[in-house]
Chains A and B, each alone.
Chain A
Amino acid sequence: MDWRLIIGEGNVYWNMALDEAILLLREEDKIENTLRLYVFNPSGVTFGYFQKIFESINIDFLKKNNIGFTRRITGGGAVYHDANGEITYSIIADIKFFPIDIVESFKKICSGLIEAIKIFGLNAEFKPINDIIVNGRKVSGSAQTRKRKTLLQHGTLMYNTNLDILARSLIVSKEKLIAHGVKTIYERVTTISRELGYKVSKENVIETMVKGFEKALKINLYRDNLSKEEEELAKKLLSKYMSKEWIYRR
């Protein structure tokens, strides 16, 4: 089965607008199943649909450091997307391709990342609901939403994220760390480079992600460009992701 592969980068608002645009157009059967691999450039922060902004992210720190932030259309927690250390993936595809059970569908898609991490010689495992861990620490988190016919899942792969900036960008409750059996965010998260002991490149990570998803999902990815309609719809949606009404709605 052939799927489109879109590789690109953009700021936090554009990236979230484009994910939604592709979801809406896939739902109308106007585009094929798509894997997007992208970078947040400049670095950005996204947080979950139901999260309260003031309890999830450190707005003062983000503003002082020109790190843009917006709310996602998917649930889950807050994420720091490092321009020089994290690749985000989005899968926007026919819902029939995935298990109906949500956690099982998380697992199926995450198996693409697990295969990718294996190529680096690391052992990764899926940790329900939506995490991937290496040596007990999180390297990836995912989030999902569904339309009637289409599933969107996006998530991270941290290959060299600055964990100091991550720790200062997000508000992580003590209870959450305790629930994961750790005391600090440094014990909770890690990166591919940190686990390997040497720095891996962005290009190398993208290449392994492509191979990982192809193997795990039994698909063939072909490079494609955004259609005019996708670009135009994403441009229209941009104002939503930049609006105070959307960002501060909870």
Chain B
Amino acid sequence: MHYTKYKKISGGKSVKIDLEIIDGKIVKFILSGDFFAFPNEKLEEMEKKIIGKSIDEAEKIINKYKYKINLIGISFNDILSLLNEIPIS
């Protein structure tokens, strides 16, 4: 099942999650938008770590990266709120 969740942040930036779940596991997880991440590579590392995990596990991974990445224009809570919109089947 494929899900796309989008959030416009007050101030002008936006974030989108493209996510695909098969048998309860995330097989695709892509964040996109006009935000900044410092460093970029850590956010990509986080995306990769989420592959193969459940939504609950993904949430834990995202929470761990809160302290490793400085997001500007969006927040980790924005990402988590989008993730929470995805139904756990």
Residues of chain A having any CB pair with chain B under 8 Å: 48-52, 55-56, 73-78, 102-103, 128-129, 143-146, 173, 175-176, 179-180, 250
Contact = CB atoms under 8 A, between A and B. Distances in A.
B12 A76 contact: no
Nearest to B34: A77
Contacts of B89: none
Interface string B1-31: 0000000111111101000000000000011
Contacts of A76: 34-36
Contact of B14 (A74, A128, A173, A180): A173
Given A102-B70, A129-B72, A250-B30, A50 B37 contact: yes
A240 to B, nearest CB: 14
Interface of B: 8-14, 16, 30-40, 43, 70, 72-73
A175 B16 CA distance: 13
Contacts of A102: 36, 38, 70, 72
Given A75-B36, A102-B38, A250-B30, A50 B14 contact: no
Contacts of A180: 12
A90 to B, nearest CB: 16
A180 B73 CA distance: 14
A75 B39 contact: no
B32 A75 contact: no
A129 B11 contact: yes
A185 B39 CA distance: 30
B72 A51 contact: no
Given A51-B33, A75-B34, A102-B72, A179 B10 contact: yes
Nearest to B18: A52
B40 A145 contact: yes
Contact of A176 (B14, B30, B36, B38): B14
Cβ-closest 9 pairs across A and B: A75-B36, A77-B34, A175-B8, A52-B32, A179-B12, A102-B72, A48-B34, A49-B40, A50-B32
